[in-house]
Every structure is written in C-alpha cells, then in structure tokens.
Amino acid sequence: DIQMTQSPASLSASLGETVTIQCQASEDIYSGLAWYQQKPGKSPQLLIYGASSLQDGVPSRFSGSGSGTQYSLKISSMQTEDEGVYFCQQGLKYPFTFGSGTKLEIK
C-alpha cells in the first residue's frame, strides 16, 4: 500500500497569513493526489485534485503543487472559514490512502 505522510499534525495561523501543508507519498504517485477539508461533524470536501487542479467552487486562495512523492497545499491568505482538518489522499492505485490530517486553527 502507498503510505501518505502528512505534516504538520496541527498549526495555527493568523488571519491573512499564508499556510502550507505537506504530504509525502511512499512512492511516486504521478500527481495522483487530492486535498480535502473537513469541518467538525461534516463530510470532507474536495479542494484540489490532480495535485494542482482547483475543484469547482473552491476559493482561489487554495492551491496545490508538487510531483513525484512530494506535494503541498497552500492557503494564500488565511480566513476564519478555513479552520478545519485537511487531508491528502492518493488516488493512483487501490487501496486509496489518506494522510493522517492537519488541524488548522486561527491564532
């Protein structure tokens, strides 16, 4: 199985700050990576797919980058509504696997 290592486990950011979350795959996943945001008591929501494609309706302050085994999610200007837990997921091969999550809070 492909292991997804996500960091940091948690972080706090001020309004307007730029935030970056990292995800490392145990093997090359050829940009087969997605990022999700989950708020308490809610289902995850897809933010980014294909490592860098923005899902419809997602604010442009979210962006994804990376290749091979290293990927990152950037929030260019932290907003209150961006609080939540973020997960990466590889969609290259079964079984799909998720990172352990990053809890993002407002400082």
Partner 1 sequence: QVQLQQSGAELTKPGSSVKISCKASGYTFTSYDISWIKQRPGQALEWIGAINPGSGGTGYNEKFKGKATLTVDKSSSTAFMQLSSLTPEDTAVYYCAREDYGYAPDWGQGVMVTVSS
First to last CA, the chain: 36
Interacting residue with partner 1 among 79, 99, 105, 106 (CB under 8 A) = 99
Instruction: State the virtual CA torsion across 25, 29, 68, 10 in degrees, nearest 10.
Output: -30
Query: CA–CA separation, 89 vs 80, rounded Å?
Result: 24
H or E stretch covering 84 = strand 84-90
Residue 86 binds to partner 1 (criterion: CB under 8 A): no
Residue 49 binds to partner 1 (criterion: CB under 8 A): yes
Residue 2 binds to partner 1 (criterion: CB under 8 A): no
Interacting residue with partner 1 among 27, 77, 100, 105 (CB under 8 A) = 100
Residue 9 binds to partner 1 (criterion: CB under 8 A): no
Residue 47 tokens read as 């933010």
| Binding residues vs partner 1 (CB under 8 A) | 32, 34, 36, 43-46, 49-50, 55, 87, 89-92, 94-101
